[in-house]
Amino acid sequence: MKLFDVYPLYDITPVKASGSRLWDAQGKEYLDLYGGHAVISIGHSHPHYVQRITEQLNQIGFYSNAVKMPLQEELAYKLGELSGYTDYALFLSNSGAEANENALKVASFYNGRKKVLVLKNSFHGRTSLAVAATDNPKIVAPVNEAEFIQFIPINDEQALSEAMDETVCAVMLEGIQGVGGIHVPSVSYLQKVRSLCDQFGSVMILDEVQSGYGRSGYFFAHQYAEVKPDIITVAKGMGNGFPVAGTLLSPKFEAKHGMLGTTFGGNYLASAAAIAVLEVIKEENLIQHSAELGAYTIEQLKGISGITEVRGMGLMIGISLPYSSAAVRKNLLMEHGIFTGSASDPNTLRLLPALNVSKADIDTFLDALKSEVMKGQAS
Ligand SMILES: Cc1ncc(COP(=O)(O)O)c(C=O)c1O
């Protein structure tokens, strides 16, 4: 059997990783400022993380959600404490798409409605409803099409007001749009979503799959706007590479047995991994580090001539060039050994490093980027 060939691959085979470093099969070292697609939050193979998962595997690796698992309760408690959402309830699953499917399902069970407002340029995942809510017709198959999803432009309060009425089940948006190229919803826009959802009995859902877990310099990106969504979804950085996701639900949603379910979600290993991540984020003060180093990085990037725009918060940064960023990204990787991310907007390059990346590593990147942008200007 061969692999179903859906990913364009770099000719690189990482075999070892530590912190923000990767090594390939030939021993070549790379600096990872892409975090394996916003997943690596506490650094590759963090010793506390390795220890927690290893110890857990030596005890028990899996049983079904039909038995008591105090680890899940410990995870929910620690997530509530660190995020400030102590009164919310946690449903555990395996991926960001699933977390969003569950969010929309709970919202629709709650108010019995169907219409969902999402933003243009959004990415919410590839399962059926999540992909229907994703603004990319190329990845929506006919079986995924949902006529009750409406796309509206980010930060356009008038368009939002016009689209809202008592038939709207939910408004779902990313804390910071990631795949779309790092676009931040404004404070007043987030507050408007909150007040219109209250007015019409609609559910406000924040997809923090990419922008959560400290990446923005807050635990959740939306916290900068001082709004409280009804549902928050998390994945990616939650497990630092171990597949785990969560749907955080406000106390207004009543759980009923059988309402949601999963085979693997919240299993012993996933819970141990997710607990280790929260412990490291707290112990190493990584949210503050992300805010401070992110502010420094954004300020330095804004000083580089040849960059059109720098967007983002904390260590979730989009850099727009006046031309396609593909060649710059390739040279950063092949000549300087630095991984960065792309975006659906071809001119944007994304930075999504581990939250404990060092200032020295950021400076190495800034020097490499400057030299590549200078080359771009000369050609
Ligand atoms: C904002 C956002 N939501 C959802 C997803 C889907 O997550 P997953 O690939 O874990 O299903 C992603 C993945 O990139 C994402 O960036």
Confidence of residue 375 (pLDDT cuts 50, 70, 90): confident
The protein residue with its alpha carbon nearest to ligand 1, atom 7, reads: 96
Give yes or no for residue 95 CB within 6 A of ligand 1: yes
Residue range 229-254: average pLDDT? 98
Q: How many CB atoms lie within 10 A of CB 57?
A: 13
Look up the CATH superfamily of 24-39+285-354+365-378: Aspartate Aminotransferase, domain 1 (3.90.1150.10)
Tell me the per-residue pLDDT of 98-117, one tens digit each, with 9 for 90 and over.
Answer: 999 999 999 999 999 999 99
Coil, helix or strand at residue 179: coil
Number of neighbours of residue 7 by Cβ within 10 angstroms:
7
Q: 114 CA distance to ligand 1 centroid (A)? A: 22
Query: pLDDT for 344-363, tens place per residue?
Result: 999 999 999 999 999 999 99
What one-character DSSP code corresponds to residue 164? -
Asked if 171 and 204 touch (Cβ cutoff 8 Å), the reply is yes
Determine if residue 84 is left, alpha or beta; phi over 0 gives left, psi from -120 to 50 gives alpha, anything else beta.
left
Phi, psi of 350 (to 5 degrees): -110, 135
* Residue found by looking up tokens 């410990």 in the block: 74
Q: Does residue 35 register a pLDDT over 90?
A: yes
Residue 137 clears pLDDT 80, i.e. is over it: yes
For a pLDDT cut of 70, what percent of the chain falls above it?
Answer: 99
Tokens at 108, concatenated = 């629709």
C-beta separation of 368 from 332 below 8 A:
yes
Cα(281) to centroid of ligand 1, in Å?
A: 21
Cα 140 from chain centroid?
Answer: 21
- Going by alpha carbons, the residue nearest to atom 16 of ligand 1 is 210
Q: What is the pLDDT of residue 376?
A: 73
Contact status, residue 123 vs residue 115, Cβ threshold 8 Å: no
Instruction: Tell me how crowded residue 64 is: count the other CB atoms within 10 A of its CB.
Output: 10
User: Residue ranges per domain, the chain?
Assistant: 24-39+285-354+365-378, 47-283
125 C-alpha to ligand 1 centroid (Å) = 5
Q: What is the pLDDT of residue 379?
A: 64
The two three-digit tokens of residue 54, written as one number: 């290893």
- What's the CA gap between 209 and 36, in Å, rounded? 14
The architecture that CATH gives domain 47-283 is 3-Layer(aba) Sandwich (3.40)
Token reading at 123: 């990415």
Kindly indicate the confidence band of residue 378, based on its pLDDT and cuts at 50, 70 and 90: low
| Closest atom of ligand 1 relative to the 208 alpha carbon | 1
Per cent of the chain over pLDDT 90 is 98
Same fold, 24-39+285-354+365-378 and 47-283: no
pLDDT digits (tens, 9 = 90+) for 52-89: 999 999 999 999 999 999 999 999 999 999 999 999 99
Q: Among 39, 123, 174, 264, say which to mutate for ligand 1: greatest number of ligand atoms within 8 Å of CB.
A: 123
